[in-house]
Structure 1
Amino acid sequence: MNTQEMKSSFDQKKHPHRRYNPLLDEWILVSPQRANRPWQGQTEKREEKTLPEHDENCYLCSGNLRVNGDRNPEYKGVYVFNNDFGSLMKEEVKSSGISSGFFSLHPERGINRVICFSENHSLTLPEMETGDIKKVIDVWQQQYEELGNLDYINHVQIFENKGQMMGCSNPHPHGQIWAQSSIPSIVSKTQDNLKKYADKNGRSLLEDYVKQELEADERIILENEDFVAFVPFWAVWPYETMIVSKRKIENLLQFSEAEKLSLASIIKDLTTKYDNLFEIPFPYSAGIHQSPTDGEPHPEWHFHMHFYPPLLRNAEVKKFMVGYEMLAEPQRDITPEQSAEVLKGLSLVHYKSK
């Protein structure tokens, strides 16, 4: 077979290929021919169980005693507090760090906070009302501003780990904020690539990318007036998605009230589809990428939110990032287009409500 025949016979639905991620300047291997391979490896226990609205043993529930001895107030709605076991410390230490040959380190200062989405121990994002999710976004906005205004905080990372499979230590629906003095590595890498594109083209990378995704209409899952949700062309995780603002918004502080409501709506719809996929509370890690709070202008930034769920075939089988992924580059079996088709076809009525 000559080169031309090989090119003409290529089918991205059947043949292995690599895809480029412009946000991280990395490649991913896609191997669609492996999608039907037999599985006799580890399976996960189904996570669903009936949770009460209030659990007297939960240290996140309103009115309950936390591990450090503090007692939560009888809160209603969103509740924020400093993480009792934070990964960062706000106290300043006097040290210039170490920089000697291969040995470089410097002290890292910051604040960790927990955000309980509501007082209801059993209520996850897809089961909340859109207006109540908007209140969570209001708090994200307030926390980004409050923490970002501290002179030693240069980055505010907002995220959620949902489900035991993602290392969540408490089933009460909540998210976290890690605010720190350095810009983390992945964020810094994303920022560099956003800036390179903006400097070269005079436009936002994600603005141009979303325009092409809408034109292609192969990976779009949801769309409203202000946001688009889709499976990225370069997605690593089986049902990975992104939410991107249509308007080039650098960070949460630039959101209008209407845009916050639109974001709440598309988060609810996307997470509902996730739960409906295997009819379980769908595990994932999700988080926001937005401009740092280092006091510098960042016109290259464009607000987006990542969702990284590990489940692959059903509620018991997940994608493992091992071997080749650890040593070479990310790899996936089903194509992003196949994942998008599955997610797009799912109902917006939560399976528990049917």
Structure 2
Amino acid sequence: MKRTSTRLADGRELIYYDAADDTVRDAVDQRPLPQTATSSELRYDPVLDEWVVIASHRQGRIYHPPADECPLCPSQDGRHSEIPDSSYDVVVFENRFPSLSPHPVLGDTATGPFPELSRPGVGRCEVVCFTSDHDASFADLTPDQARLVLDAWTDRTEELSQLPGVVQVFPFENRGAEIGVTLQHPHGQIYAYPFTTPRTERMTAAATAHRRRTGRNLFEDLLAAERAQGDRIVLQGEHWTAFVPHAAHWPYEVHLYPNRRVADLRALTEAERAEWAPLYLDLLRRFDLLFRTEDGGGTGSGVNRTPYISAWHQAPTAHGPGGGGELALHMELFTIRRTVGKLKFLAGSESAMDVFINDVSPEQAARRLREVGA
């Protein structure tokens, strides 16, 4: 992998990740962009003991542009995009409309009635373009292309973990208009948070309590139990296991664990990295096969692409509380679709009380995911 860092016209960093070591990247951003100004602010909610990000500048971000104006496609035929070069393998760049920023500008609200509960939203938000092909999806990538994305995620985890104030690095992908995606080009994001997220704190607390009770690691015990029982396993490899969790929140939700517990992406071995790509691609393709429609969903392949969220959970950085600790690296993949033409909405119980009600049994979901790939 070759890594080439450059700057866009407004000063944001852009990094090319190329499979070929002899690739030259010297294109210059020709756009007359003003310097970006962000007003990100963190406000502490003492009732729920968590931070909320206020980022009002994001109201002006690009919203469902036509394909010939996509800002994530390469610059070609006189049209300049966020990527100056005319082609690319994988690209990562600082978000133009970030929720968190290295140099946020605070508004007057910072001196409001609760100034002690507010602080600048310092952090970093990046966009990860998986391929230059606008009409593709992650599931369409080859194993080598998917591996390059994994290597880019790993590199960003390493670099972002070293930034002052960054406590947690979170790579993820939102896919589908149903999820709220406003740019259809295949891409994901990375958030570098200045605090440990509520979800991670809850998982860490549960793992710590489990260690106190049993002397063992919660995630190792959970994976061993799923592998032993077997009825919720979707895919197994020498180094990875994909399963529907016993208490799945979403109708179709799969967790992908390395069989060896590690804290974050940086700790994966070469063998683990090599096996992840084809196994994850298989899993994504099974998700796309879940909801067939008579007209093929417009994909031309008889398959309606399933909206999903794919999220890497990894331990907080060395700057955060606990470092690696008890948390285990894993990926969670889930869709908000519960059947053809129907979505799982987070209504009263889920949104107001954080109590999920699942319409599909985990065992049924696992069986369906196994069957569609057969």
**8 Å CA contact 2:251, 2:365 repeated in 1:** yes
* C-alpha distance in 2 between matches for 1:176 and 1:320: 23
1:102-251 correspondence to structure 2 within 5 Å: 104-251=117-264
Gaps of 5+ in 2: 1-65, 292-302
Aligned match of 1:324: 349
Match of 1:261 among 264, 274, 282: 274
The answer as to 2:354 corresponding to 1:342 is no
Q: Please state whether the residue corresponding to 1:89 is helix, strand or coil.
A: coil
Question: Percent identity at matched positions?
Answer: 29
Deviation at 1:70, TM superposition (A): 5.1
Q: Which residue of 1 aligns with 2:312?
A: 288
Distance in 2 (CA, whole Å) between partners of 1:297 and 1:318 is: 37
CA contact (8 A) 2:257 2:330 kept: yes
1:332 match: secondary structure:
coil
Structure 2 partner of 1:11 = none
Deviation digits for residues 51-82 of structure 1 (CA, Å, limit 9, x no counterpart)? xxx953211001169x9975532232111111
Distance 1:338 1:322 in 2: 23
User: Shift of residue 326 of structure 1?
Assistant: 2.5
AA matched with 1:320: F
**Shift in alpha-carbon separation, 1:291–1:98, aligned structure 2, 3 A:** farther
- The 3-state SS of whatever aligns with 2:117 is strand
What root-mean-square deviation, in Å, do the aligned CA atoms of Structure 1 and Structure 2 show?
2.7
Given that residues 56 and 64 in structure 1 are in contact (C-alpha distance below 8 angstroms), is that contact kept between their aligned partners in structure 2? no
CA distance in 2 between partners of 1:70 and 1:137 (Å): 22
Judged with a 3 Å threshold, the aligned counterparts in structure 2 of structure 1 residues 197 and 98 are, in CA distance, closer, same or farther, namely farther
The CA distance in 2 between the partners of 1:56 and 1:100, in whole Å, is 47
Secondary structure of the corresponding residue to residue 85 of structure 1: coil
Q: Distance in 1 between matches of 2:73 and 2:279?
A: 27
Change (3 A) 1:72 1:199: farther
Note if contact 1:231-1:242 (Cα within 8 Å) is conserved in structure 2: yes
- Output the CA distance in 1 between the equivalents of 2:367 and 2:81: 49
Q: Structure 2 length as normaliser, TM-score?
A: 0.73
Q: Name the structure 2 match of 1:306.
A: 332
1:86 aligns with 2:98: yes
Amino acid at match of 2:349: Y
Q: Which has the higher contact order (CA 8 A, sep 6+)?
A: 1
Q: Quick one: structure 1 residues 234 and 62, their matched pair in 2 at CA, closer, same or farther if it must change by over 3 Å?
A: same
Aligned residue identity for 2:373:
S
Aligned with 1:133: secondary structure?
helix
Query: Residues 64 and 71 of structure 1 are in contact (CA less than 8 Å); yes or no, is this contact kept in structure 2?
Result: no
Provide the rounded CA distance (Å) in 2 between the counterparts of 1:311 and 1:174: 20
Cα displacement (A) at 1:98: 8.2
Report the number of matched residues. Answer: 293
CA distance in structure 2 between the partners assigned to 1:102 and 1:342 by the alignment: 51
